[in-house]
Chain A
């Protein structure tokens, strides 16, 4: 069965703090893809990153970084020096052969000035 768990329901930080959003996934497939999406108050899901199961290299994009560890089935997302504009709900998602996305329940991040 496929499942994505985001155990942190809500996180609050003060601007400039670093914050890590956790994501744990379950799948029986050896080929799969992991995603992170951001959902601001406007409601639109904004794509952040896609990672395939054969590429465990960590990735950094500006203030964002992702840590993929197959050994622990985790794909965590870190925002460095958070900003108020980072406030949103963040979703981790998994897709397998059929490429439909299985989403976690999301983590609401609030960044206070």
Chain B
């Protein structure tokens, strides 16, 4: 499978626990994005990386959220001290960006990690 993969697909956790999600992008893609989607809404941007550099973080990303992409390949998103409001689908996407010909190529999405905080 050469698409974007996310692990786990589902996570149920108790309020106050920490959780970590993993995203493996398409191998040749240098950009990686995290989005959050709540029921009945469109995905909302959280953060993105170009290679290992985190270039932008949304104001939605509170201090309890941290994302890494240490070697410019896979990425992790950690939520500390989870709250019920964190329950959502967390989507990862990847794309290519070429400095020589910058244009927004399409982002390919994984199937998401559905988090339920009880």
Question: Which positions in A face B, CB cutoff 8 Å?
Answer: 4, 33, 35, 37, 42-47, 50, 52, 91, 93, 95, 98-106
Contact = CB atoms under 8 A, between A and B. Distances in A.
B111 A43 contact: yes
B53 interface: no
Interface of B: 31, 33, 35, 40-45, 48, 55-56, 89, 91, 93, 95, 97, 103-112, 114
B101 to A, nearest CB: 12
Contact of B106 (A42, A50, A105): A50
B113 to A, nearest CB: 10
B104 A47 contact: no
A52 B106 CA distance: 11
A106 B42 contact: yes
Contact of A50 (B42, B48, B104): B104
Contact of A91 (B43, B103, B110): B43
5 contacts: A43-B114, A44-B112, A98-B48, A100-B48, A105-B40
Nearest to A52: B103
A45 B105 CA distance: 15
Nearest to B46: A100
Nearest to B95: A99
Contacts of B112: 43-44
Contacts of A104: 42
Contacts of B31: 99
Contacts of A35: 106
Contacts of B104: 33, 50, 52, 95, 99
Given A98-B56, A99-B97, A100-B48, A47 B43 contact: no
